[in-house]
Amino acid sequence: MKDQVIVITGASIGIGAALAAEVARRGARGIVLAARREAELATVAKSLGDIPTLVVPTDVTKRADLERLRDRTLERFGQLDVIVNNAGRGISRMVSELTDADIDDMMTINVKSVVYGIQAVLPHFKQRKRGHIITISSGLSRFPLAAQRSAYSAAKAAANLVMASLRMELRAQFPDIHCTTVIPGVVATDFGNNALHGGVDNRKLPGAQPVEEVAVVIADAIATPIAEVYTRPQLLELAARYFAAPDVAVLEGQPPFSR
């Protein structure tokens, strides 16, 4: 990691800020912090100590902002090794309640932003024949554990397949451009508070995973690239049970799906 320049979106708080601290601790060559809130980014940057850091105010729903993020990174460091597509937003609406605007919002911030990030860095990665694209997904992309997160879950499932399709696209000609999808469960952040139409505070939910633990999993995936990683082994075990079930509806009638 000491030779790598790492770009993190959604870096002003939560998982993004914790990841910045973790890769700084591991001695990254440079860290680029991106989010809409410049003051909060500056606070995170100050907390990282002597690691070379660049703050770039960025709205990930705008393709031009991701391209500017790439350009500013290359101007400062001369290289870009890892991009972590971490910015995202949830929703609190059942399928029967969703509006066109709800769906558009979820797809824009959780899927189109990932595509914008990928397409911004890919020419640089192809030129160097190496790089690492990481997208933070969600356990809700695999399991219907929270029906009110309907459109968010669907958007994250779409992001998973974008990443898998990208791996297939690159693997023959660019085997050293790695694509990693990170799948957390409930994380102790203000994700719920910031959900479209409101929501519960994730930090108050039982068993919420500390952001520091999630950051360690992501940093480990940077150090040793892997296609997909769950941030807790229980999620991987649940995935094995769920997708192997002859009828998933039977499992959906049991905990942890039904409480």
| pLDDT tens string 218-251 | 999 999 999 999 999 999 999 999 999 999 999 9
Interval 111-120 mean pLDDT = 98
Residue 259 covered by a domain: no
Could you tell me the pTM of the whole model?
A: 0.95
- 8 A C-beta contact, residue 48 and residue 20: yes
Question: Tens of pLDDT along 118-175?
Answer: 999 999 999 999 999 999 999 999 999 999 999 999 999 999 999 999 999 999 999 9
Amino acid sitting at position 5: V
d(CA 160, CA 165): 9
* Residue 230: CATH number of its domain: 3.40.50.720
Interval 76-100 mean pLDDT = 96
Residue 20 is predicted with a pLDDT of: 98
Residue 140 is predicted with a pLDDT of: 96
Q: How many domains does the chain have?
A: 1
Residue span of the structural domain in which 98 resides:
5-252
Residue 258 covered by a domain: no
- 8 A C-beta contact, residue 147 and residue 247: no
Alpha-carbon distance values, 18 to 25, 90, 139 (Å): 11, 19, 19
Positions marked catalytic: 152
Residue 76 covered by a domain: yes
Alpha-carbon distance values, 81 to 18, 31, 178 (Å): 19, 10, 10
Question: Tens of pLDDT along 9-64?
Answer: 999 999 999 999 999 999 999 999 999 999 999 999 999 999 999 999 999 999 99
Residue 155 is predicted with a pLDDT of: 98
Residue 75 covered by a domain: yes
List, in sequence order, every beta strand (DSSP E) within 67-198.
82-85, 131-136, 177-183
Residue 257 covered by a domain: no
Residue 212 covered by a domain: yes
Residue 206 is predicted with a pLDDT of: 74
